[in-house]
Amino acid sequence: MLIHPAYDLSYIYTLKDPDVQRANEMHEKNAQAILDKAKEVFMEAGVSIETRLIYEHDPFSYIRKMVKEKKVDLVILGSKGSHSMFEEILLGSIADKVVRHIPCDILIIR
- 95-107 per-position pLDDT tens digit: 888 989 999 999 8
Distance of CA 83 to the CA centre of its chain: 13
Asked if 43 and 77 sit in the same domain, the reply is: no
Domain region containing 83: 73-110
User: Would you state the pLDDT for residue 69?
Assistant: 95
The residue that leads in pLDDT, 88 or 79, is: 79
Is the pLDDT score of 4 beyond 60?
Answer: no
Asked if 32 and 81 sit in the same domain, the reply is: no
Q: How confident is the model at residue 25 (pLDDT cuts 50, 70, 90)?
A: confident
Strand partners, 109: 78
How confident is the prediction for the chain on average, in pLDDT? Answer: 79
Count of domains in the chain?
2
Rounded-to-integer distance, Cα 99 and Cα 76, Å: 11
